[in-house]
Amino acid sequence: MKESISIRYSEAFKRQVVDEIACGKFSSIRKAQQAYGIRGNATVTKWIRKYGREDLLPKRMRIETMEEIDQLAESRKRIRELEAALADSHIDHCLEHAFLEIACERMETDLDDFKKKNALTLSDVRKTRGRK
């Protein structure tokens, strides 16, 4: 069975590597990893973030067409609309439940018993709403 070896680096070593990248000794994070034999792909990147030097990380630039930008804006608008509709539906549900509790209280009936006696299926509800 193959034993795995866990390598731990000292804080001083981590800072040294980050400082050397910052001063330009290495042209990239990958070059520093190769020079010191650091195996983990994200190890040095984690150290850079840990020591607050995100400015050393490579920048990502996204180039989009106008059509992609429009689609993204439309998608975000649709998400906002759906979130609002969901919130409205949740409020309606809460109100209906509260009204049902009040009605059962006034009829001096237990809510669970009322639900059992007057159970409707979802298809029954859809049929009655469709007729309106």
CB distance 69 to 57 below 8 Å: no
Q: How far is CA 90 from CA 21, 31, 73, 104, 132, in A?
A: 53, 55, 26, 21, 22
CA–CA separation, 5 and 68 (whole Å): 47
> Which contiguous run of DSSP H or E holds residue 118?
none
**Which residues 6+ apart lie within 8 Å of 111 measured at CB?**
100, 101, 104
Q: How confident is the model at residue 129 (pLDDT cuts 50, 70, 90)?
A: low
Q: For residue range 53-102, what is the model confidence (pLDDT) as tens digits?
A: 999 988 888 899 999 999 999 999 999 999 999 999 999 999 999 998 99
Residue 108 has pLDDT above 80, yes or no: yes
**pLDDT tens digits for range 3-31:** 778 889 999 999 999 999 999 999 899 99
Which pLDDT value is given to residue 122?
53
pLDDT of 125 reads: 63
Predicted local distance difference test score (pLDDT) of residue 114:
85
pLDDT at residue number 132 = 47
For 35-60, what is each residue's pLDDT tens digit?
A: 999 988 899 999 999 999 999 988 88
What are the DSSP calls for 55-113, one per residue?
GGSPP------HHHHHHHHHHHHHHHHHHHHHHHHHHHHHHHHHHHHHHHHHTT--HHH
113 Cα distance to chain centroid: 41
- Rounded to whole angstroms, how far apart are CA atoms 53 and 57? 8
